[in-house]
């Protein structure tokens, strides 16, 4: 890592998943610490990282992966580097994981209530924001750049959009937080990381992602309908 950042004007940082990490803090802060030291040592000019919505909300300290991500932001900011945290809600693209159940049973799942309206963003829009910041040498200091998608949607809204675009009935089914965690454990995730996923979903259900007021500047262009047409529909058809 020390070698990678030598001479870097700007760095795009994303903490990769470590499903067997002993703790959420280890996965986010522990993994990022050597990078933060390298940013400082090599005088990296600017860092742009993928992070999450939720800072300054009542759930920020109990939100699993989001809590870890916010601590990562604090660590990077503490190095003195110019820093922008791309603060995101859940990704539209995560729906791809549920293609088998959508395709075969016409249903998708979450422990979040079906009528809870939340922002959701396409990863293509996050990437566009990152590239813009990486190529722009004019900013300094520390800040957050939220990307909220074009509108807040509930999972029931998404089911309706999927049904219309895919030409098949798709419904949303809320599952329990216990079942949600157990599923991750069954995939081999450590208990701590599975609990982190579950805590994040709980916090989103409470309102973690609704703390930033929508503005033209933080509304990103790709709609869930467009994403469903361009990404989900081909995946379901394949």
Partner 1 sequence: MIVVTTPTGQIGSQVLSNLLDRVKSSGLSSATRQVSRPASGRALTSSRARTVTRPSWTRPFLAPMPSSG
Give me the residues that bind partner 1 (CB under 8 A), please: 1, 3-5, 7-17, 27-28, 50-53, 65-66, 68-69, 88-91, 93-94, 97, 110, 112, 121, 123-124, 126-128, 130-132, 134-135, 197, 200-201, 204
Q: How far apart are CA 199 and CA 178, in angstroms?
A: 11
Looking at the Cβ atoms of 4 and 168, the one nearer to partner 1 is: 4
What is the rounded distance in angstroms from the CA atom of residue 92 to the CA atom of residue 90? 7
Nearest Cα to Cα of residue 200 among 225, 228, 177, 168: 177
In the complex, minimum distance from the CB of residue 27 to partner 1, in angstroms, rounded to a whole number: 7
**Smallest gap from residue 100 Cβ to partner 1 (A):** 16
Cβ closest to partner 1, residue 69 vs residue 218: 69
Nearer to partner 1, 127 or 169 (CB): 127
Residue 43 C-beta: closest distance to partner 1, Å: 12
Measure the CA–CA gap between 52 and 66, rounded to whole angstroms. 6
Q: How far is the CB of 66 from partner 1 (least distance, A)?
A: 6
For partner 1, give the closer residue by CB, 96 or 168.
96
């Amino acid at each position: 890592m020390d070698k990678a950042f030598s001479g870097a004007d700007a760095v795009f940082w994303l903490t990769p998943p470590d499903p067997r990490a002993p703790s959420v803090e280890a996965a986010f802060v522990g993994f990022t610490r050597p990078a933060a030291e390298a940013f400082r040592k090599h005088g990296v000019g600017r860092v742009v990282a993928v992070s999450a919505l939720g800072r300054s909300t009542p759930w920020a300290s109990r939100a699993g992966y989001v809590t870890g991500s916010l601590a990562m932001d604090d660590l990077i900011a503490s190095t003195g580097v110019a820093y922008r945290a791309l603060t995101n809600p859940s990704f539209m693209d995560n729906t791809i994981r549920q293609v088998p159940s959508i395709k075969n049973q016409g249903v998708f799942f979450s422990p979040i209530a079906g009528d809870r309206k939340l922002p959701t963003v396409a990863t293509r829009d996050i990437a566009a924001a990152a590239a813009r910041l990486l190529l722009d040498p004019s900013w300094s200091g520390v800040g957050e750049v939220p990307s909220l998608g074009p509108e807040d949607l509930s999972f029931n809204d998404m089911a309706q959009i999927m049904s219309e675009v895919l030409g098949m009935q798709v419904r949303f089914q809320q599952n329990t937080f216990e079942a949600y965690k157990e599923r991750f454990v069954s995939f081999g995730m450590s208990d701590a990381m599975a609990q982190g996923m579950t805590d994040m979903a709980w916090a989103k259900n409470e309102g973690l992602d609704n703390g930033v007021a929508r503005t033209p500047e933080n509304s990103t262009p790709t709609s869930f309908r467009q994403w469903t047409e361009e990404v989900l529909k081909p995946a379901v058809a394949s």
